[in-house]
């Protein structure tokens, strides 16, 4: 360990090579809890050899070239808020903590773009853009902690993705260091027909094909107006039919969150809906959307409820920042929780929901909430189970999750739409991609023959 650290200290400033056991323990985990892993597919965590905190692409290149020559695994690390274990150390490795690369390099107002280093936190970008009358379009619950590189690596979805798209859809161009130490740069343009899009190697790639060091992203004018509503439907099915009509009528809400949490509303489902942008258009779209919802049986909740939802949307991330070990330790109290975020053909959502209710009941699991996020095809389930002393609760929960995931895949859907794969969903990659997984593995083998780049993730 000391030998590796000493060699790294010749490549970057010695004070940015970390050996402190407490710091390494923090960097060995993200926000995945062991209680959310199936007991039969649980890797053994491993302490990192050391961590390196580069400040430039050139320093990342040196670290990667060194690791490749020594055949040492690398794990890229951003905000550590990933929920699938994409940043877990599952073998002795060098953690590359990219948060030292946190500069905004250029804001081009006329081009409506910004060039930024990958370790910058999303909130810091947005605050700087606000000074210029622009916003960051990516708005996940992790805004105060997640980095742009981490968001790109999972192609995550935020609260306002209905207008601005996923993080990957906001990427114009990328700079990344490949496993052999070479640097690749793609052209930051809106559209190219000059071969396949090489950005796709890194968007959703979870650092398995290279380390993103810079990104040029779209930025958006600060909205003139925002209209937020909260509506209570008599049932989830009624809310779903209203959402379907919204999209049939070509309405595109920035925020759409439909949920049936029985803890707050024992009967029915609540829809949080927001339109933003041009003032005149926003007002008209909101009025039309509300009239459609009312026609499907919705009643309006107080405006204060809608404003509370919007105000508190990042609170979970604040709690995570205050206590990063909280999520890691979930399940040790005998209460296990998990969720499933799937993409389905819209025609399959309600039938899948009915089948899902039967599945969770079969395994003795509680369905705490189900809902839509952003659009009618993106459906989520929040599950829970309490150990009754038999020690089988975690197994039952994960068996239920596995059955739900496989049903989604059989229906032609995808097992995850926002958080990536990591180690949590890696066992399902063969069913997800078929022979496509072999194609991914061949690309990985070609680019990374020594398998140093975040090995063991995404089933690669």
What pLDDT tens digit does each residue of the chain (460 aa) get? 789 999 999 999 999 999 999 999 999 999 999 889 999 888 888 999 999 999 999 999 999 999 999 999 999 999 999 999 999 999 999 999 999 999 999 999 999 999 999 999 999 999 999 999 999 999 999 999 999 999 999 999 999 999 999 999 999 999 999 999 999 999 999 999 999 999 999 999 999 999 999 999 999 999 999 999 999 999 999 999 999 999 999 999 999 999 997 677 777 999 999 999 999 999 999 999 999 999 999 999 999 999 999 999 998 888 777 777 666 777 777 899 999 999 999 999 999 999 999 999 999 999 999 999 999 999 999 999 999 888 899 999 999 999 999 999 999 999 999 999 999 999 999 999 999 999 999 999 999 999 999 999 999 9
Give the pair of three-digit tokens for residue 22. Answer: 């407490």
The residues, any chain, with a CB within 8 Å of residue 103's CB and separated by 6 or more, are 116, 117, 120
In angstroms, the CA 342 to CA 347 distance is 14
pTM over 0.85: yes
How buried is 226 (Cβ within 10 angstroms: 0-12 exposed, 13-18 middle, 19+ buried)?
middle
Give the pair of three-digit tokens for residue 269. Answer: 């489902």
How buried is 304 (Cβ within 10 angstroms: 0-12 exposed, 13-18 middle, 19+ buried)?
exposed
- The Cβ of residue 13 has, within 10 Å, a number of other Cβ atoms equal to 12
Decide if 152 contacts 218 (C-beta within 8 A).
no
* H helices, E strands: number in the chain: 15, 18
Decide if 226 contacts 276 (C-beta within 8 A).
yes
In angstroms, the CA 193 to CA 428 distance is 33
Helix H or strand E segment including 97: strand 94-97
Give the pair of three-digit tokens for residue 8. Answer: 């790294």
Per-residue model confidence (pLDDT) at position 391: 85
The neighbouring-strand residues paired with 95 are: 51, 75
Pair type for strands 74-77 and 225-233: unpaired
Question: Backbone phi, then psi, for 210, in 5-degree steps?
Answer: 160, 170
Give the pair of three-digit tokens for residue 148. Answer: 């742009």
In degrees, rounded to 5, the angle at the alpha carbon of residue 198 between the alpha carbons of residues 450 and 165 is 120
Q: Which residue has the tokens 């041009």?
A: 278
Per-residue model confidence (pLDDT) at position 327: 67
List, in order of start, the domains of the chain with CATH numbers.
Answer: 101-221 (3.30.465.10), 225-313 (3.30.70.3450), 333-418 (3.30.70.2740)
The neighbouring-strand residues paired with 271 are: 231, 258
Positive or negative, the CA dihedral 81, 83, 86, 89 is positive
């Amino acid at each position: 360990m000391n030998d590796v650290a000493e060699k790294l200290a010749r490549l970057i400033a010695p004070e940015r090579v970390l050996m402190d056991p407490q710091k390494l323990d923090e960097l060995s985990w993200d926000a995945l809890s062991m209680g959310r892993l199936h007991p039969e597919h649980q890797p053994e965590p491993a302490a990192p050899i050391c961590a390196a905190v580069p400040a430039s692409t050139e320093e990342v290149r040196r670290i990667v070239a060194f690791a490749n020559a020594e055949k040492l695994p690398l794990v890229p690390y951003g905000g550590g808020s990933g929920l699938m274990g994409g940043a877990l150390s599952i073998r002795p490795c060098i953690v590359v903590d990219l948060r030292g690369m946190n500069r905004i390099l250029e804001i081009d107002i006329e081009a409506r773009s910004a060039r930024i280093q990958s370790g910058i936190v999303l909130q810091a970008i947005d605050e700087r853009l606000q000074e210029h009358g622009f916003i960051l379009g990516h708005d996940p619950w992790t805004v105060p902690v997640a980095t742009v590189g981490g968001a790109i690596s999972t192609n995550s979805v935020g609260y306002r993705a209905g207008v601005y798209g996923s993080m990957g859809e906001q990427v114009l161009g990328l700079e990344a260091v490949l496993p052999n130490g070479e640097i690749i740069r793609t052209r930051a343009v809106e559209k190219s027909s000059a071969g396949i899009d090489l950005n796709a190697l890194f968007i959703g790639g979870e650092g398995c094909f290279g380390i993103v060091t810079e990104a040029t992203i779209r930025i958006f004018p600060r909205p003139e107006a925002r209209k937020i509503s909260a509506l209570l439907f008599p049932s989830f099915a009624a809310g779903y039919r209203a959402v379907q009509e919204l999209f049939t009528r070509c309405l595109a809400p920035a925020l759409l969150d439909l949920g049936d949490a029985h803890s707050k509303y024992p009967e029915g489902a609540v829809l949080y809906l927001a339109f933003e942008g041009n003032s005149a258009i926003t007002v008209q779209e909101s009025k039309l959307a509300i009239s459609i919802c009312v026609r499907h049986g919705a009643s309006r909740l107080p405006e204060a409820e809608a404003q509370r939802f919007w105000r508190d949307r990042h609170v979970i991330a604040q709690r995570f920042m205050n206590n990063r070990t909280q999520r890691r330790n979930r399940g040790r109290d005998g209460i296990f929780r998990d969720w499933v975020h799937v993409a389905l053909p819209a025609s399959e959502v309600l039938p899948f929901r009915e089948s899902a209710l039967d599945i969770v009941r079969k395994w003795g699991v509680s369905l705490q909430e189900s809902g839509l996020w952003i659009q009618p095809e993106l459906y989520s389930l929040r599950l829970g189970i309490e150990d009754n002393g038999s020690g089988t609760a975690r197994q039952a929960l994960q068996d239920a999750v596995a059955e739900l995931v496989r049903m989604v895949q059989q229906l032609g859907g995808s097992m995850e739409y926002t958080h990536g794969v990591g180690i949590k969903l890696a066992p399902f990659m063969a069913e997800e991609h078929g022979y496509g997984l072999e194609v991914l593995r061949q690309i990985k083998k070609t680019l990374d023959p020594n398998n140093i780049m975040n090995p063991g993730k995404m089933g690669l």
